[in-house]
Amino acid sequence: MPRSSGVVLALLFALVVAFVVDVAQADVFLDFPPGSNNRATEANRGRNNANRLFDSQNNNRGGYNHGGPQYFFSGSTVTVGWHSHHACGDDATAHCTFILQVGCRTTGNPNTDMRDGSTSNTPPLLGAATPTGVQFGMHETPLSYDNCRYRMRNRGLFGSQTTYSGSNKATATYQQGTSTGTRFGYECPEERDYYPYWQPTGLWRDIAVFTDEPARCAQYQAKSENVADRYYCVPPATFNTLTDTNPIDESQCTISGGVWTRSPAFGA
């Protein structure tokens, strides 16, 4: 999903507000709570690393540096404000849908805790180095990204004239910069670019949808992971991460020796 802007807050637990821009990502800036746009603690006007946490596709001078967490009293009403750099709904050819989501994960475990981080470096992959250093920002976990990069991409999606460079994984989509699987933190490109996503997100819960195409609202409500279960394939013990691709279809999962598994809806 497109995390066009995000910031970690302290409100009994860590929160990240995320935006999904339907069809194309179009320079959306989160004004309040202040969105990072991949900034960390840069001393210069531009961000140092656009690949740090998520693919915002915003310009390098947008966003806010991490200046310490923001605190709100439990039960407070938090106003969310953003602006879109490009047209939304001003004519028949410009359509926008904004999905606001919230994620929380504070366990005391540096492998899973959501955080801003202090370094501009992109967090490392599992097996490449230790991703547990709290200096690295984290919106999703290293394990969730591993599930993405070993999972089959949905070939039924619109691909335009994109050349996928042989990639069959969910890390490759037709959106700019990701057709070859470019990595943005631990964000799953396919999940970012398509909503509602068909695999369990494990974290992101829908809180509001704003759209200029209200005919879609019933589908959004019915397919939200808040109320609809997700299913995924648990691969067999013989699964080879170098050569195998984890199926997203029940029959293919069973044929491969995997177990088709239910992930319950959040129930919100």
Low-confidence spans in the chain with pLDDT less than 70 = 1-26, 67-69, 87, 89-91, 128-132, 159-166, 175-181, 268
pLDDT tens per residue across span 13-69: 334 444 444 444 557 888 888 888 999 888 888 899 999 999 888 888 888 887 666
What pLDDT is recorded for position 112? 79
Phi, psi of 77 (to 5 degrees): -95, 120
Alpha helix locations (H) across the chain?
142-149, 189-193, 217-223, 250-255
3-class DSSP state for residue 146?
A: helix
What pLDDT is recorded for position 229? 96
| Nearest Cα to Cα of residue 247 among 199, 177, 213 | 199
What pLDDT is recorded for position 200? 93
What pLDDT is recorded for position 94? 75
pLDDT tens per residue across span 172-186: 887 655 566 688 999
Q: Which amino acid, one-letter code, is at 241?
A: T
- The reported pTM is 0.84
CA distances from 154 to 71, 222, 259, 264 (A): 40, 21, 19, 21
What pLDDT is recorded for position 9? 34
Number of other CB atoms surrounding residue 47 within 10 Å: 22
